[in-house]
Amino acid sequence: MNVEKKRLLMPIRLFLCSLMLMSVAQAEDPLPSWADTSPKQAILDFVAKVSVPNGKDFVPEQDRLAVFDNDGTLWPECPMPFQIAFVIDEVKRLAAEQPELAKDPMVKAALEGDFKALFAGEKHDGFMKIMALTHSGMSSDEFSRRVQSWFSKAEYPPLGTSYGEATYQPMQEVISLLRSKGFQVAIVSGGGVDFMRQFSEDVYGVSPEWVLGSSADVVFKLQDDVPTFVKQASNLYINDKVGKSVRIYQQLGRRPIACFGNSDGDQSMLEYTTIDNPYKSLGVIIHHTDGQRECEYDSKPPFSGKLITALEEAPKRRWVVVDMKQDWEAVFSGQ
């Protein structure tokens, strides 16, 4: 081939080369922390099907809503849910400032880590008391400062990292994959909404209006002519079980097409998402099977959040059950 011909072929080669590079980039695995087992394939298949234009399962972008439980689904809830670690640390901080608080038997139980006493009784009166102590009677700004301060310093004992670094890497990858395909991602957690909103943007990239959680009354007033919300303990809305579906309906006003949870508390939103949905949908249950890298539990969880009926229902509803031990090659980022 002469020089002139070679020169003429150059643009064609460049074009072909760029096509090849593109296909390499497209082939890059969006879920590298997932083992090549059926759950990974189910997630990839679903995402591909709903996002390919003109496909029979195509879902318009504005209807691509994915909801995630938080504790036990996006990050651990063992040895205890992170918000409970916050509550205990807060009780310690408050008791150091106001020693008379320790006269209260439930404060004493919290200081001693006596969870049996705190969670005694059907309504967990002891725990509700220290929740009220640490989550109400202050302005929302003051509460935000306390959470942020704790979150910036506290360590997650099993890993020795910050709590924000203790998220499940495979789930972070799922969130990124969904976002790259035009999904809106919402967190629908039993945790307190005011607690979660302090870190949801940094940790998951989820802005406050897409974080749904438990809440109680708030009083608005001009205090010294400054708009102030004062957190109350009354009218607690526990965002769990059917409460999760109701909150999604009332707050977001649209139906998810993908739902990720890990306990019977998520069963209602798995049902809402996947049963009789005119769109193709995906339900996923994270099953904590890895006692070595994380924790092993289902019917006997470290705190609340049993997984019994949702697991039984999974085959009938075609929910994908993720066996953490088998289906996740890494659990935490940096492993």
Binding mask 184-223 for a copy of itself (x = CB under 8 A): ---------x---x---------xxxxx---x--xxxxx-
What span, in angstroms and rounded, lies between the C-alpha atoms of 308 and 241?
13
Distance of CA 333 to the CA centre of its chain: 15
DSSP, collapsed to helix, strand or coil, labels residue 113 as coil
Q: Which is nearer to a copy of itself, 118 or 282 (CB)?
A: 282
**Per-residue x/- track, 17-46, a copy of itself (CB under 8 A):** ------------------------------
| Interacting positions 268-287 with a copy of itself (CB under 8 A) | 268, 271-272, 275-276
Q: Check residue 99 for interaction with a copy of itself (CB under 8 A).
A: no
- Give the angle subtended at the CA of 283 by the CAs of 43 and 295, to the nearest 5°: 85
CB 85, min distance to a copy of itself, A:
22
Nearest-10 crossing angle of helices 309-317, 267-274: 10
Q: How many residues of this chain bind a copy of itself (CB under 8 A)?
A: 33
Nearer to a copy of itself, 67 or 88 (CB): 67
- Separation CA 87–CA 92 (nearest Å): 9
Of the candidates 306, 295, 179, which has an alpha carbon nearest to the alpha carbon of residue 241? 306
CA trace torsion 273, 277, 278, 281 (10° rounding): 50
* Nearer of residues 124 and 318 to a copy of itself, judged by Cβ: 318
Per-residue contact flags (x/-) with a copy of itself for residues 217 to 236, judged by CB under 8 A: -xxxxx--xxx-x-------
Interacting residues of 213 by C-beta distance below 8 A, sequence separation 6+ = 70, 187, 188, 189, 190, 191, 192, 193, 194, 195, 196, 239
3-state secondary structure of 50: helix
User: Using CB under 8 A, which of the segments 4-12, 35-43, 89-97, 249-257 binds a copy of itself?
Assistant: 249-257
Shortest Cβ 131–a copy of itself spacing (Å): 17
Distance of CA 69 to the CA centre of its chain: 4
CA distance 73 to 269: 14
Among 246, 290, 303, 306, binds a copy of itself (CB under 8 A): 246
Q: Binders of a copy of itself among 55-84, rule CB under 8 A?
A: 62
Q: Which two tokens stand for residue 113?
A: 């880590």
The binder of a copy of itself chosen from 139, 252, 296, 304 (CB under 8 A): 252
- The reply to whether omega before 315 is within 30° of 0 (cis) is no
Among positions 127-146, residues that touch a copy of itself (CB under 8 A) are 140
Residues that bind a copy of itself (CB under 8 A): 62, 140, 193, 197, 207-211, 215, 218-222, 225-227, 229, 242, 245-246, 249-254, 268, 271-272, 275-276
